[in-house]
Structure 1
Amino acid sequence: MKHLIIIAALFVSALTTAQANYEQGMQKAFELWGSNNPTEASNLFERIAKAEPDNWLPLYYAAQINIVRSFGEKNEEKLSAQLKKAQNLINDAMAISKDNPEILVLQALLHTAWVAFDGATYGMTLSGKVVELYTKAEMLAPNNPRVVYCKAEWHIGGAKYFGQDTKPFCKDLEHALELFANFKPETPFSPNWGKERAEMLWRSCKE
C-alpha cells in the first residue's frame, strides 16, 4: 500500500511538472512572438507540440505564425515554403482535433494568403474552398467571433476585388464585435485573437 501511495505521488508530481513546463513554454513562445521573433516563437511552439502529442494548440500557433507572415510576402519561393510548413502543421492539428472551427478558420486563412498573393492564379481554385471552410465552421460554432469576423473580411476582400459594395458585410462585423464582447476562451491558451482587426474593419465600414 505504501508503495502504491509513493507511485501515485510521483505520478501526480510528474503531471504537475509537465503542466508547469507546458505553461511556461507557451508563455515564452507568445513572448517571443510579441517581441517580433516569429521564427523563434514558431520553433518553440513546434518543440512544445512534440512534447504534447495530444494537444492541438502548439501546432495551431506554429501554423498561424507562418500564415500571418505570408501576407504581403512577394517572394513566391519563400511564401510557398512558409505555407507548406503551415499546411503540415494544420494537418497534424486536425488529426488531433477534428471538426475544430478554430483550425478550419486557420485553413481558410492559409488559402486566403495564396489568393492575396496572386488572385488571378489562385482565386478560381481556392475561393470555393474558403467559403466552404467558413460555412462549415459557422455551422459548428455560430457564436465564435473569429468565424464570423474572418468570414466577413473574406467577403469584404472579394467585394473590393470585384468593385462591389462592401457595406452589406458590415452588419456581420458588428455581430462579430458583439460576440467578441462576450467570448471566453476555453483555456488560457485557447485562440482569443481578432477583436482589434474586427474593430478596425468596422471603423472602415462607417467611413
Structure 2
Amino acid sequence: MFAELRRRNALKRVRPGHGRVLKPFRRWQTLSRSLLSLEPGDGAVWTVEVLHWKQLTTEDGRPVAHLYRNGAHHAESPVPAVFPVPGGVVEVQASAFGLKRCHHLPDGGGERRLVPDPDSGEGRRARFGREHPVASRWIGIGVVALLVVPVLLMVPQLLEAATRVPPVAERFGTFTSPVELPWWGNVALGLVTAAASTERALRLRHHWLLDSVG
C-alpha cells in the first residue's frame, strides 16, 4: 500500500517535456550523467537521462530525471521519479553517488532494468562485468568489504555520542569508543567510501545502510 501511494505521488510530479533533442553522450560525462533506454514494444525508444551534477543547483538537492521518446524530450520529474510508458511505468531513484534504480515495471508484473548507454559509466561497468565476470565479482565483494569497515567504525562512535546525552548517561552510564581516527584517517575513509559507493551506483546497487555511510 505504501509503495502504491508513493508511486501515485511521484506520478503527480511528472511535468510535460519541451521536445528538445537528446544530446549524444560524451566521454567526459562518465560519472556526471546517466543515460539508459527501453523498448517496451510500442515501436518507440524511451530514454531516461539524469544529470547528477545538477542536484547541486536544486533547492532540495535532488536531481531531475528526463524522459525522451525517440530522442525528443517527453517528460521530466524530480527524483525519485515514476514515468508512465506504454504498458507500465519506469521508476528512477538516485543517491548522492549515482542511480539506485532505473527499472521498467510492466502492468502485468515483474521488472527489468533499462539498458545503459555503452559510453556511460553504467554501460562501461556492465561491459566489464560481461567480459570479465570473475574479476567483476571479486571487485563487488571487495567494494562491500570497504563499505562494511566504515559501518563498524561508526557504530561505537555513535554509541559514545548517544551515551553523552544527560538522561541516557544518568540511567545507563557513558561509553567511550575504542575507535578514534585522526583527521587524515577520516578523510581517507571518506574518499574510499565515496569511491566504493560510486562503483556500486554504476551497477545500480544500493543498500540503505552501506551506501548511506558516505
Q: Counting strand residues as a fraction of each chain, which structure ranks higher?
A: 2
Structure 2 length as normaliser, TM-score? 0.28
Q: Which has the higher contact order (CA 8 A, sep 6+)?
A: 2
Structure 1 length as normaliser, TM-score? 0.29
Q: Counting helix residues as a fraction of each chain, which structure ranks higher?
A: 1
